[in-house]
Amino acid sequence: MFDALQQLFTATRVRRQEEPYAVCRLQAGVPLDRVMQLQPPPLCVCVEPDGATVFLPEAELPALQNAVTVAEHDGPWTVFGLHAPFDFGVTGYLARVCEALAARDIPLLSLATYRRDFILVPGARADEAEEALDALVLGSPHN
């Protein structure tokens, strides 16, 4: 399995999104159709029984606040897309990403989609996170 994980990291491309992001909490019952109609649409909307979390560019926060009541928000966060030909049978990918950032004491939020993973780090730590992710992907002995 280690070889498959190494091959996956070799194929990974890290893409940093330059615009800062906000993470917002919405109360349960907020009409999510209004959220999904925002342009551009949010990166992700995670729905739970007690509310929803919305990940969107920080510049779009006023539009979200005009559409629905935002209970609280945090930011800025920097988003890194981890683009790779994911094999759902390979284990340890996200664990290695978390280890690389934890070794530098960088907190993260993670999102997974069918085609890629996204890592969000506090905006002030983005350059350090990019170095850590690049070292991991390039196989540097410093990770």
Q: For 29-75, how does the pLDDT look when each residue is reduced to its tens digit (9 = 90+)?
A: 999 999 999 999 999 999 999 999 999 999 999 999 999 999 999 99
Report whether 40 contacts 54 (CB < 8 A).
no
CA pair distance 34, 100, nearest whole angstrom: 37
**Considering the entire predicted model, what is its pTM?**
0.90
Tokens encoding 112: 């997974």
Res. 17 pLDDT band, cuts 50 70 90: very high
Tokens encoding 5: 């994980």
Contacts 24+ apart (CB under 8 A), 61-65: 61/22, 61/24, 63/38, 64/24, 64/35, 64/38
Q: Is 10 helix (H, G, I), strand (E, B) or coil?
A: helix
Domains in the chain: ranges and CATH: 2-138 (3.30.2130.10)
Mean pLDDT of the residues in the chain: 92
CA pair distance 56, 78, nearest whole angstrom: 11
CA pair distance 9, 3, nearest whole angstrom: 10
Note the pLDDT of residue 2.
Answer: 64
What pairs with residue 15 in β-bridges? 81
